[in-house]
Structure 1
Amino acid sequence: MVEHSAYESLTVDVDDRVATIEFHRPEKYNALNNDVMLDLRRAFDAIELDRDIEAVIITGEGEDAFSAGADITEYAGPTEEHDPRQKRRQELFYGMYRRPLDCHAPVIAKINGYCVGGGLIVAMYCDLRVAVEDAKFGVPVADIGQIPTGGSTRRAIELVGEAKAKELVYTADYIDAEEAETIGLINHAVAREELDTTVEGIVERIKETGTEAVKNSKRALNYGAGASNLEDARELEAEVWWEQFATEERRRLVDEFNES
């Protein structure tokens, strides 16, 4: 078991092979400043070292926001005050935003309120997203004269399609959880009192399946989503399939199935 040291802006709790990351800036609607993003990178570094972890949950403290996005105070001022630091910062943030997608275990965004801007980017890079019905989603960066970052333009198109992604960005409007579920941005919109049990149910079902099978499926699915053609995706899928076929887990679970 990897020890999780104290973080400035979030907590990491590991229980029964499930890691829960919680943002702790409720007074700022869990906005993502430099400290939060650096803590998030450290948290996933530690999780990557603990291969026994079977699932990860990311959420925000309180009932108002998963995360309201970037801390805009860090973007104020003339351009010359930011170069070249801001360019390097965006490069680092891209790697941090991707950490849920690149994590060995499935990552679930447990969305308890506003999920906006950078907060939405973090959620989009998770494998699954479950939100309360009164959650709000948006990419309002055009309202402050900026464009989406962190590779989110490509990721948004993958999730909701080009037309809807462009509408969300161009208008800077917010959508509710019902529409977010309809367009494929989230997996489930649930009543607030059902959020915990819904996420827990998904996690328990993941844990009931083959641990390595799930992790290898994530590798194949992630590669397939970004592959330039079907043949490349199929070749990687076949390679991972044979890796999984050679595992003791596959032999054990097939025997258990045949005996049942």
Structure 2
Amino acid sequence: MVSYDAYESITVDVADGVATIEFHRPEVYNALSTEVYLDLSRALSEIQLNRDIDVVVLTGEGEDAFSSGADIEQYAGPAEEHDPREKDRQRMAFEEVYKRIYEIHPVTIAKINGYCVGGGLVLASFCDLRVAVDDAKFGVPTTDIGQIPGGGSTYRMVQLVGEPKTKEIVYTAGLIDAAEAHDIGLVNRVVPREDLDDEVDGIVDAIQDTGRGAVKASKQAINHSANAPDLETAHEHESEIWWEQFATEERRRLVDEFNEG
């Protein structure tokens, strides 16, 4: 296992093509401060340069929370006490992290081990896959502090669960349990806590047992299609990626193996 350079609020360990990022603020339920986002930005930049990494797993330290969201102390006080330029830089840093998680070449998996709310849920929503323990709780309680969801979350949540459910979750500022999160398509799988590690490891193994380049290319195509304005645009981009992957040695090798088997 290789550990990337020391960070202030996260750890990054890489082994066998998997980068595991863990938030280390259990005393505040792994709240996402500006420092966490800066650490994440640097870590994701380093991972993006390593083409041997197939999967990134994000999780929180302990058993209480994946992340409780933004560090609310940063938003206290009247607006005139906050430097708008600093707030804008902070907002852009947050949005850049979400964008990188969504676009980075490895598959990203949110390993949700407890509360996943506010900014924590926003971060998880930009991952490719979400696996949660059966006692996890989810919500976007921003209206409770007189704010609206940010970071592109209003768009992303509508993509995942639809407009009516997004409005219900945001307007009521309540929490939903893991079973409901699974039912509405917010998470991919829900498992007992003792099975979380094995479940995520099984998904990682399944990904790495396929054509690794094909998975990365599929991610590009799916992400583009999810945000394309129409079918024709999506099809054109998909066709380009299809031919690029068709020309790879990986495709030739795997087809030969399949035919020989």
Would you say same fold, with TM above 0.5? yes
Check the 8 A contact 1:2/1:46 in 2, yes or no. Answer: no
User: Take 1:195 and 1:3, find their aligned partners in 2: how far apart are those partners?
Assistant: 23
User: Take 1:41 and 1:8, find their aligned partners in 2: how far apart are those partners?
Assistant: 12
Check the 8 A contact 2:3/2:12 in 1, yes or no. Answer: no
User: Take 1:13 and 1:203, find their aligned partners in 2: how far apart are those partners?
Assistant: 15
Partner of 1:16: 16
**Matched length:** 260
Check the 8 A contact 2:4/2:12 in 1, yes or no. Answer: yes
User: Take 1:13 and 1:85, find their aligned partners in 2: how far apart are those partners?
Assistant: 31
Partner of 2:79: 79
Range with bigger deviation, 222-231 or 73-82: 73-82
Residues 15-164 of structure 1: pairs in structure 2 closer than 5 A: 15-82=15-82, 83-164=84-165
Question: Which 5+ residue runs of structure 1 have no aligned equivalent?
Answer: none
RMSD of the alignment, in Å?
1.1
1:88 shift after superposition: 2.4
1:87 shift after superposition: 2.0
User: Take 1:92 and 1:112, find their aligned partners in 2: how far apart are those partners?
Assistant: 25
- 1:163-214 alpha-carbon deviations (Å, 9 max, x no partner): 0001000000100000000000000011001100000000000000001000
1:2 shift after superposition: 8.7
Letter in 1 for 2:254: L
Letter in 2 for 1:184: G
Check the 8 A contact 1:2/1:47 in 2, yes or no. Answer: no
User: Take 1:201 and 1:105, find their aligned partners in 2: how far apart are those partners?
Assistant: 16
Check the 8 A contact 1:70/1:119 in 2, yes or no. Answer: yes
1:84 shift after superposition: 2.3
- 1:112-138 alpha-carbon deviations (Å, 9 max, x no partner): 000000000110000000000000000
* TM-score for the superposition, normalised by structure 2: 0.98
1:3 shift after superposition: 6.8
User: Take 2:151 and 2:35, find their aligned partners in 1: how far apart are those partners?
Assistant: 17
Q: Equivalent pairs: percent with the same residue?
A: 64
Letter in 2 for 1:21: I
Q: Secondary structure at the match of 2:53?
A: coil
Partner of 1:223: 224
* TM-score for the superposition, normalised by structure 1: 0.98
- 1:78-126 alpha-carbon deviations (Å, 9 max, x no partner): 1122222112211221111222111101000000000000000110000
Check the 8 A contact 1:12/1:20 in 2, yes or no. Answer: yes
Partner of 2:200: 199
Range with bigger deviation, 90-99 or 170-179: 90-99
User: Take 2:17 and 2:203, find their aligned partners in 1: how far apart are those partners?
Assistant: 14
User: Take 1:208 and 1:15, find their aligned partners in 2: how far apart are those partners?
Assistant: 16
Check the 8 A contact 2:22/2:58 in 1, yes or no. Answer: yes
